[in-house]
Amino acid sequence: QVQLVESGGGLVQPGGSLRLSCSASGSIFSINDMSWYRQAPGKQRELVAAITGGGRTNHATSVKGRFTISRDNAKNTIYLQMNSLKPEDTAVYYCRMTLYGHYHWGKGTLVTVSS
């Protein structure tokens, strides 16, 4: 059974940084495509960044140059380094794993960007 646990969220001032982590268990992590999504209040969930099992990355235009997705297969963990945070980055951030065509989600971690 796949389990994804996000951590690293919190309150940060505009311009600040946070690093989110997503630890995976119950699957062959190194071959799975992984991604970060976010959902702001009253808005639909949107893709933030994705990384393939081979390490190829893709970032949403809104975060390109500020956020970086990475993975450590030895630790079964992916990361989202978030720099130059803006109030509009405030959202619950979710980790997603694609496994044999099925999606598995974590419960999310809240990021609040406010002064």
Secondary structure class of 33 (helix, strand, coil): strand
Joined together, the tokens standing for residue 104 give 């598995």
- CA-CA distance, 72 to 78, in Å (whole number)? 6
Cβ atoms within 10 Å, residue 4: 22
Sign of dihedral through CA atoms 27, 29, 33, 35? positive
Residue by residue, pLDDT tens for the chain (115 residues) are 889 999 999 999 999 999 999 999 887 776 789 999 999 999 999 999 999 988 999 999 999 999 999 999 999 999 999 999 999 999 999 999 998 888 999 999 999 999 9
Closest CA to 100 of 26, 5, 32, 37: 32
